[in-house]
Amino acid sequence: MAGSASAKVNTREDNACEYSTSPTSSADSAADALDSTAVESNDVNVKLAYDIPPQDYRAAVMASPNSSAAFWSHRLYKGADGKRPAVFYCKNFEAAERQARLFAGERILGFDLEWEPQTSTKTGNIKRNVSLIQIAAEDKIALFQIALFKGETAEELMPHTLKTILESANVVKAGVNVVGDARRVRELLKIDMKGVFELSHLYRVVKYSEQDRKNVSFRLVSLAAQVQDILMLPLKKDDNRISAWSRDLNTQQTDYAATDAYAGFRLYHKLNDVRKSMSPMPPMPGFLEQELPLTLGDGTKVYRSTWKPPGHKSAATNKDIPAEAEEDKYFDAVENQDADDLAANLRSLDIAGDDDAATAAPSNRVGTSRQPPRPDTAKLKAADAWVASWRLSLPPDWTVSARSSELRAYHLWHHQGLSLQEVAALCREPPLALMTVASYVMQALKEENLPYDPERLRDPRDILPTSVHRRYQRIFDRIPK
């Protein structure tokens, strides 16, 4: 394992490690290493040595969808010596500084944050709002559990080398919805991150540049959807996504946290490989702090849309995006965990597919039948027919912001008069999470200004956590007192 020959490792069964001795390099030499690896752009060529052995990939594809073996994970990757990426779980400041130095020479890192559900940055509580910082290189992953460090201030909680890595424009930090993560780091830890790379932008350029260009945009694509499509296995979706991150982590939590960060690293390289195979080849999207348009291979530029037809609400500006990203991370954890299944169910009925990459369904694996028959296809078909008809009724220059899955849930709830519980049961067996259905309905109302019965808004309001109520406050304010 790179940079760790002189350190003793206490290895647990979950592959999460704590170093008990310090490498010989100092914090200053780590910073020098960062400065010496200047990245002229975010397009960095790195030859990877770790991969999923063919027999292991085949076993994952053939595994029961109910077993952990069926899902994509950092554990699947092995080097020539058969070793997996090491996971360093750091629960104190000193260990975090030592392990951060091992990443000082890395040019590309997967990046992610975790925090306590139903918390707000307005409280100023660093440990609840930036509970865990994850970074991943090819052969190693570090989990820095800030929530367990001694102290309360940013200076007491942020190791020098980790701070240097986050601030360096010479180190790519790749992830999904990283604008929200960077905002939290800036507000709580007083660190202005550089080299922040949104994978959704590269995914859309690669996926839609040559065909279906209307989908080349700055809209986020969930990590689960990207992993399924690009890395060819589903990402496990369970309660760990919204679990407590300020206490000691269990095996499932460390696996989840390590896998998400490693997915960012792997997606960056895989998407970049696909981009380089395109002709003409589009340039890499810029870092978020550069605020550049997306550029296609023929030179066409795609800017953030700030205009919509008269009568429609304005799209979010660049300034608005960080303010909403706080809730977006929550919905990536809760809403998107079921979006793939809803889209897959509807497609299994031979009705029009979803037009949104963020809800692209996982491919059926060989020898498995993932989805059972739907209990009432007529209601689902009616909902899908309404979505198609509603779209056709719009002016040609109208921009639809709501996803098809959100519009379908809205139709089932509003036009067909079903309860949120009935919508959840209708769309999947076992039922979708009520929080997911509530978020679908509210997103459709928020994005498209659709009609609704104010009295019925009480149900989604009561189901959704108060931490995201402000997202829909204008609508919730219309509930009769």
Classified as helix, coil or strand, 416 is coil
User: Which H/E stretch holds residue 461?
Assistant: helix 458-463
Whether the Cβ atoms of residue 186 and residue 233 lie closer than 8 Å to each other: no
Across-strand partners of 16? 87
Classify the phi-psi angles of 151: left when phi > 0, otherwise alpha if psi is within -120 to 50, otherwise beta.
left
pLDDT classification of 17: cutoffs 50, 70, 90: very low
- Closest to 114 measured CA to CA, from 207, 245, 217: 245
Classified as helix, coil or strand, 183 is helix
- Map out the domains of the chain as residue ranges: 9-288, 310-476
pLDDT digits (tens, 9 = 90+) for 324-354: 344 444 444 443 433 333 333 333 333 223 3
Q: What is the pLDDT of residue 468?
A: 82
Q: What is the pLDDT of residue 243?
A: 66
Q: What is the pLDDT of residue 337?
A: 39
What's the Cα-to-Cα distance from 283 to each of 111, 116, 278, 299, rounded to whole Å? Answer: 22, 37, 10, 9
Going by DSSP bridges, is the β-strand pair 172-175/196-198 parallel, antiparallel, or unpaired?
A: parallel
**Cα distance between the two ends of the chain:** 62
What are the residue ranges of helices labelled H in 294-419? 320-334, 336-347, 377-392, 404-414
Residues 281-298, mean pLDDT to the nearest whole number: 93
The string of DSSP codes covering 334-366 is HTHHHHHHHHHHHHTTT-PPPS-GGGPPPPPPT
This prediction has a pTM of 0.62
Q: What is the pLDDT of residue 44?
A: 63
Classify the phi-psi angles of 312: left when phi > 0, otherwise alpha if psi is within -120 to 50, otherwise beta.
beta
- Closest to 203 measured CA to CA, from 179, 187, 186, 222: 222
User: Which H/E stretch holds residue 276?
Assistant: helix 251-277
Backbone angles phi, psi at 7, to 5 degrees: -110, 140
CB contact burial 327-344 (16+ within 10 A = b; e otherwise): bbbbbbbbbbbbbbbbbb
Q: What is the pLDDT of residue 308?
A: 36
Q: What is the pLDDT of residue 238?
A: 64
| Superfamily of the domain at 9-288 | Ribonuclease H-like superfamily/Ribonuclease H (3.30.420.10)
